[in-house]
Amino acid sequence: MGRSVERIQTATLRIPSNIMKTSRILLTFVSALAVTSAFAWHDTGHMVVAAIAKQSLTPKALSEAEWLLKMDADPKSDNFVTAACWADDAKTKESGPWHYINIHFRTDDKPTSNEPLKQNIVWAISKFSEVLRDKKRDPKERAEALRYLIHFVGDIHQPLHAVARDSDEHPDGDRGGNEFKISPPERFSRQDRPPTNLHSLWDSGLGLFKSVPRPLTDDGLATINRTANAIKSRFPEISLDGVKQSDPMAWAQESADIAKRFVYKDITEGTVPSPEYMRKGEDECAKRVAYAGYRLAALLNKLLN
């Protein structure tokens, strides 16, 4: 693609070679950015959560959800499964903090007085639940609320969307592991942008979630459903303690407890996570996705029936 663009530009505009060189570099950068944006690896985890939830929706709730999600829909997120990614596609400076809650802690036994932002993911789930519940609201507002909820229930079950580790180096927190640098494990060696911090590692499910592009093809949807069914078989709803818990703050506290108990344990900053850490982490991610899917279905069945 880059060479054909270059030939056209050279033939028609006779751009000097030094400018053409800069243009080629810029074009390569833009192309790479487009690819990583279109094939965002963390999208898969959100779509798997939605696929698990969809299987447990009542017919009435699913019909209402699908009707709402057709409103002002982007082709990349115009159905229940791909709508799980919309909140990241549409993220703004205002909505960014709605994707997480920073429950601050330290691993050196020193006290911390840092508090989460008032508008956080717990606040957002409560806010958009009320919007979706209200049948008198503009359907487009309810559709937006639904898209946010499908995404946020997934986010809140990711342990690093619920914490910030404070330290002398990062007194205001490490932004959910974004400032905790790692060297990528071998399993990511073929990726153009392997995870280089703890947060991105866990967003990938420690390698559990392979990139599936949107809009979904039949093969892509089949991949999502296979992953969802494998996780459901591994973690049936009946096997999960507290799965009926409906308080978003309790969900966040669960995630924070996992982060404190495991995510930051047995891993040293700047090193490659051990195979044992990767194995246990992948298992934990699969379980959290199962919780998220079952709880999302329960929430939407309550709001849409």
**What is the Cα–Cα distance from 96 to 194, expressed in whole angstroms?**
23
What is the reported pLDDT for 37? 33
Residues with pLDDT less than 50, the chain: 1-41
What is the reported pLDDT for 42? 83
**What is the Cα–Cα distance from 52 to 260, expressed in whole angstroms?**
27
245-283 pLDDT tens trace:
999 999 999 999 999 999 999 999 999 999 999 999 999
Q: So where are the chain's domains? A: 1-38, 41-304
Round the CA-based radius of gyration of the chain to a whole number and report it. Answer: 21
Secondary structure (3-state) at 165: strand
pTM of the model: 0.86
What is the reported pLDDT for 13? 35
Tokens of 38: 């279109």
What is the reported pLDDT for 34? 34
What is the reported pLDDT for 106? 96
What is the reported pLDDT for 240? 98
Query: Which CATH superfamily hosts domain 41-304?
Result: P1 Nuclease (1.10.575.10)
What is the reported pLDDT for 192? 85
What is the reported pLDDT for 87? 96
